[in-house]
Structure 1
Amino acid sequence: MIKTPKQIGYGAIASLATLLYLSPIPKLVFAQATFKEVVQSQEVLPLPGKLDNIPVFNSNSPEGVKADGILLSTFPSTNKKVSSAHLNYPLEGHFDLFAHHFSYYPKDSQTLYLGIIVNNPGKKPVTIDVLAAASYLLPEAPYVTLLSYLENNDGKTYSGPGDRAVSDVLRGVRQAGFPQKLVIAPGKSKMLLNSPIPVRDLVKAVNGRSTLMQLNSSGKVYVASLAMFAKQQSDPAPTLAQWEQLLTTSSLSSPRDKTPTPPEQTSGQLIYGRVAGISQGSQWQALLTDNPQAKNLTIPAPGKAISYAVNTLKGGRLGTGQVQTAKMLARYPDTAYESHGNYGVLYNLSIPLLNSTQKAQTVTLTLATPLKEDKLSQKGARFRQPSLDFPFFRGTVRLRYSDDNGKPQTRYVHLWHRVGQVLDPMLSVKMSPSSRRMVQLELIYPPDSTPPQILTIGTLE
């Protein structure tokens, strides 16, 4: 079992991984003394399955907000002062909402407010069911250094606001302050979120808010995320009328993030860009078997392993040729062409293990972050000892399986992994001869992480 020691140190307030986003690893990170490269020689396979078609309201640009304005609007441009700020993309039925923004203003400046407004354009009332929702500030979930594995059944272990928010939603939590239902009259609007991102009195003048919601709307709605700074520190949160006026009269918040590299460009620097739009896919469901027609995954021979790529993207396909990144159904021209990182996406992986041998075997599962490569330069995923000294995965996974006594188990395990780190398994099960064991791994990809990862199934010698 994984032990649960206390936190072992504190990281920087601002996340370098967040600031670098998904860029190639900077040269300064390699400025270490000596290291040993470790190549895990097993094959890295594409992940079976695919993203579903659930739309995601995906607000992540500009990440650092410095002025009032529109962050993302799916409203029509009719009667709007700046038509280009509105994507005219109504949402209906099940959809997710992800918003991740920071304020970097000096500590004596005004509080930034993040508002998410929902409008019913129809002639009948619309009900939005808030199935799960969580929103956290950086001081509520600071970036801290943790052990590689910590049991997290109580949900009290996290490193970063995105890590904490997706951990709550993975458990189906609807955080206090979010309504169970939101009923919107015909032609009217309501606020789904109206929350501050204060920086005053903080040790470092940086704060951020990560929000994830799973929603279901009985009819078509328009949604917008908006940014507004308080004029005075004593000012209350903006009113619905003030948000509506900003939506009608404002342009996109600026300055903007870096313009992404066009998909057709094949040379030069790869800039992914930040996401602002509607992405397609809130869940990737996969059944890991020997082949598409098989019902089981035969465990590897003793001492061998098999790996599956998780959250691959352009420039980081790990030799699989597979891009798992969600497509954009609507976006602004200066924002990401795809939802690079799949932040907030649920990976639901079912692994029907089969021990076809006549001996008991110990099978292990490991989720790790190899060095990022598009095509593998060696015959396997590359790691190093010591690892690069920065965390590339901070989040909670849910494991469901029957233990060695046949008792069903559900465990939440927090992972805090550096890039290139060689890890012990997060799960080991002992399988009897000619036996089967179903293992299910679920995670919502945390905004405080950087892809890609690999899931490795191995058999001990």
Structure 2
Amino acid sequence: MKDRPLNLVISIVIVALSALGGGLAGILFRVAVVLPLQDGVRAEWAAWKSRENPLASQLVSAGENVAIAVQKGEVRPLPGSLDEIPLFNSNSPEWVKEEGILLSTFPPYGTYYPDAHLDYPLRGEFELFAHHFVQNPPDGQTLYLGILVYNPNLEAVTLEIDRAASYLLEPDAPFQEKPPMVKNPDGAVYSGPGIRAVDAVMRGKRQPDFPRRLEIPPEESRMLLNQPIPVKGLQRQVNGRSTFMRLNSKLGGDDDTPADVYIASLAMYAKIHPDGGERAPELIEWQRLLDTGNLAQPRDKVPTPPEQTGGQLIYSRVAGVQIGSKWEADLVDSGRDTLAIPEPGRGISYVVSTVRAGTLGTGQIQAADLAVRYPDTAYQSHGNYGVRYDLTLPLFNPAEKTQVVTVTLETPQKEEKLSEGGLIFRQPPWDFPYFRGTVRLRYQGGWGREKTSYFHLWHRRGQIVDPLLTMKLKPQETRRVEVDFRYPPDATPPQVLTVRTVE
């Protein structure tokens, strides 16, 4: 279905009546819309007429077969900021078509192509993200993704692998449509390899393929990853691999002194045995590629310079080291240690993963800065793939009556300024999924008991979705809610975390 502009004349009759009864389950919205609806949309519309989500009562016509809801309420920047933990971010070129260097922080000295090396050592705690795909490789060859670590020190280095996961698109984690929200207590629900990898790391897992420690002798290299991206036997010769790790480099022995290491992600086709079979490249072959190879071609689109204000905006893909892997914040009112829930029927939304030209009226860009990057790749880590958002909401009910409040992670229409005076949602939503990944929810339940829930979300842009949590707050009561997730690869920013008080 073709998108309609948002400034079309709005024509509608809305009747929103609330049935008697307590709590969210007692609310019923009846909506009468002057719209020519096709059969498929009409069926969806009938379902929306009895939804418990308050936004369903605000849907208004924006053209044939399309309805718009404008969520009134305050939109706030997210408190806090990114930490200083670096993240090795290898995501360009996303589609690898030739052998070569994907991202190298090695020094350029003695290499054939010095510009392919960014000369940036990593030391102590850092994280690593590598996310690449292949399509129709020559003769169906298997492409290998290699991650090489070099110890430049005069004594051994221990690389601690605290958490690590690496998954293929096929068969490990295919892109598949999922329900908008489904419980995911053990990580069995996923919708892509990057999504599955960051979910595993969020849960503190390390796959058995990865050792707890990697010992690297002085002035030597070791392979941190040497894994295939096979296409043979697949109906479509398309596959990908996503890897995410939390690492810590220390001088050998029991010393906790941080140690410099250099890291490179590389792409190489499988080597062929005399009998025609494939084998994985060996360390010496990866080292030769690092020393003599150039950046993998072809490159992604060149990004729009930050100083450019007109024309097309291209974010491009990331290949560099970003500064920041965690955003931790307490969502509270200014000068207070609690967040007063809004008036009934209103919401307070905090923006998440905002980018240039998509700050939803806040002016806040959350994309991590890059300490080093290649000139033809992204200027910032747009989308903050893999970054952990750890958000605490101490919800306070200032009223003299019990109120029902909801907490929702949702994806409105991307805007720099709120053109309609609020966040824009649509029925039916725009087709492409903009958020798909797992969110962890921790909160105080009945009798003060701590509860933890995991939900896999699969949201289209502008989709009106159910809340993560609905709870009653007694007069003057405060209850803590924590929303925690790794921003999933292949999600598209921005999102908002909304606290809404039910009418």
**2:55: which partner in 1?**
none
**2:226: which partner in 1?**
194
Whole-angstrom distance in 1 between the partners of 2:327 and 2:192: 24
Aligned residues: 430
User: Which one of the candidate residues 272, 281, 305 is aligned to 1:238?
Assistant: 281
**1:155: which partner in 2?**
187
Q: TM-score, normalised by structure 1?
A: 0.92
User: Which one of the candidate residues 261, 274, 296 is aligned to 1:253?
Assistant: 296
SS at structure 2 position matched to 1:169: helix
**1:8: which partner in 2?**
none
- Between 1 and 2, higher relative CO (CA 8 Å, sep ≥ 6) is seen in 1
**2:247: which partner in 1?**
215
Please report the RMSD computed on the Cα atoms of aligned residues, expressed in angstroms.
1.3
Whole-angstrom distance in 1 between the partners of 2:136 and 2:188: 29
Whole-angstrom distance in 2 between the partners of 1:294 and 1:162: 38
User: Which one of the candidate residues 335, 339, 350 is aligned to 1:308?
Assistant: 350
8 Å contact 1:305–1:456 — kept in the other structure?
yes
**1:229: which partner in 2?**
269
8 Å contact 2:97–2:137 — kept in the other structure?
no
Quote the offset at 1:440 in angstroms: 0.5
8 Å contact 2:271–2:280 — kept in the other structure?
no
SS at structure 2 position matched to 1:277: strand
Moved over 4 A (4+): none
**1:87: which partner in 2?**
118
Quote the offset at 1:424 in angstroms: 1.6
Letter in 2 for 1:264: E
1:33/1:243 CA distance change after superposition, 3 Å: farther
Q: Does 1:394 align with 2:451?
A: no
SS at structure 2 position matched to 1:425: coil
**1:49: which partner in 2?**
80
8 Å contact 2:271–2:279 — kept in the other structure?
no
User: Which one of the candidate residues 482, 491, 501 is aligned to 1:440?
Assistant: 482
Percent identity of the aligned residues? 57
SS at structure 1 position matched to 2:268: strand
Quote the offset at 1:261 in angstroms: 0.6
Quote the offset at 1:406 in angstroms: 2.1
- Is there any run of 5+ residues in structure 2 with no aligned partner, and where? 1-62, 251-258
Q: TM-score, normalised by structure 2?
A: 0.84
**1:176: which partner in 2?**
208
Q: Does 1:331 align with 2:373?
A: yes
User: Which one of the candidate residues 353, 356, 368 is aligned to 2:398?
Assistant: 356
Letter in 2 for 1:43: E
**1:422: which partner in 2?**
464
Quote the offset at 1:363 in angstroms: 1.2
Whole-angstrom distance in 1 between the partners of 2:181 and 2:317: 30
**1:322: which partner in 2?**
364
8 Å contact 2:271–2:281 — kept in the other structure?
no
8 Å contact 1:108–1:200 — kept in the other structure?
no
Whole-angstrom distance in 1 between the partners of 2:497 and 2:102: 35
8 Å contact 1:107–1:205 — kept in the other structure?
no
Quote the offset at 1:188 in angstroms: 0.7
Letter in 1 for 2:263: V
**1:274: which partner in 2?**
317
Deviations 1:234-278 (A, max 9, x none): 221110110000000000000111111111111000011110010
| Structure 1 range deviating more: 107-116 or 253-262 | 107-116
Deviations 1:39-89 (A, max 9, x none): 001121110100011111000000000111000000001111110000000
SS at structure 2 position matched to 1:216: strand
Whole-angstrom distance in 2 between the partners of 1:45 and 1:271: 26
8 Å contact 2:184–2:455 — kept in the other structure?
yes
SS at structure 1 position matched to 2:291: helix
8 Å contact 2:106–2:263 — kept in the other structure?
yes
**2:407: which partner in 1?**
365
SS at structure 2 position matched to 1:43: strand
Letter in 2 for 1:458: R
SS at structure 2 position matched to 1:78: coil
8 Å contact 1:95–1:215 — kept in the other structure?
yes
**1:38: which partner in 2?**
69
Q: Does 1:143 align with 2:167?
A: no
**2:16: which partner in 1?**
none
8 Å contact 2:142–2:231 — kept in the other structure?
yes
Deviations 1:106-161 (A, max 9, x none): 58420000000000000111111111111110011011111111110111000011
**2:497: which partner in 1?**
455
Deviations 1:392-451 (A, max 9, x none): 100001111111332110111111101100112111111122111011000100112110
Letter in 2 for 1:230: A
- Is there any run of 5+ residues in structure 1 with no aligned partner, and where? 1-31
Whole-angstrom distance in 2 between the partners of 1:201 and 1:251: 30
Whole-angstrom distance in 2 between the partners of 1:126 and 1:74: 17
Deviations 1:156-177 (A, max 9, x none): 0000111111110110100120
| Structure 1 range deviating more: 397-406 or 52-61 | 397-406
8 Å contact 1:59–1:277 — kept in the other structure?
yes
Whole-angstrom distance in 1 between the partners of 2:349 and 2:135: 40
Whole-angstrom distance in 2 between the partners of 1:129 and 1:183: 9
Letter in 2 for 1:444: R
Letter in 2 for 1:189: S
**1:164: which partner in 2?**
196
Q: Which structure has the greater CA radius of gyration?
A: 2
Whole-angstrom distance in 2 between the partners of 1:79 and 1:326: 31
Whole-angstrom distance in 1 between the partners of 2:270 and 2:224: 19
**1:283: which partner in 2?**
326
**1:14: which partner in 2?**
none
Whole-angstrom distance in 1 between the partners of 2:446 and 2:71: 28
SS at structure 2 position matched to 1:144: coil
Letter in 1 for 2:426: R
Whole-angstrom distance in 2 between the partners of 1:206 and 1:216: 33
SS at structure 2 position matched to 1:372: coil
